[in-house]
Amino acid sequence: MKRVYIILFSAILFVSGCIKDNSGIEATGIVQDFTGLDGCGKMIVLDSGERLEIISLPSNTTLEVNRRVRVEYKPEPRASICMAGITVHIISLQYI
């Protein structure tokens, strides 16, 4: 019986270590239009200069060019046609 508890406890520790954190990276930047570049559209240029190539936005969210934003995002490296920034899922976007 003791062996069963040890196996169960080990399984719980393993599974809890695999649970992903739902929080993202927070930053500020400006929405810019890169449609002149092949395969690109609107992206967020962070204050650090890094560009966010957006995979998904929260529902009912639109991007307004030349507006400053505070964003929370999760990077998801993947191939893209644009290749001008890091590909991300936007968790939240707020105009400032």
Dist. CA 42–CA 33, nearest whole Å: 4
pLDDT for position 8: 54
pLDDT for position 23: 78
Q: Which domains does the chain have, with CATH numbers?
A: 22-95 (2.40.50.500)
pLDDT for position 20: 54
**Number of C-beta neighbours around residue 67 at 10 A:** 13
User: Which residue ranges in the chain fall short of pLDDT 50?
Assistant: none
pLDDT for position 1: 64
**Quick check: 74 and 85 in contact, CB under 8 A?**
no
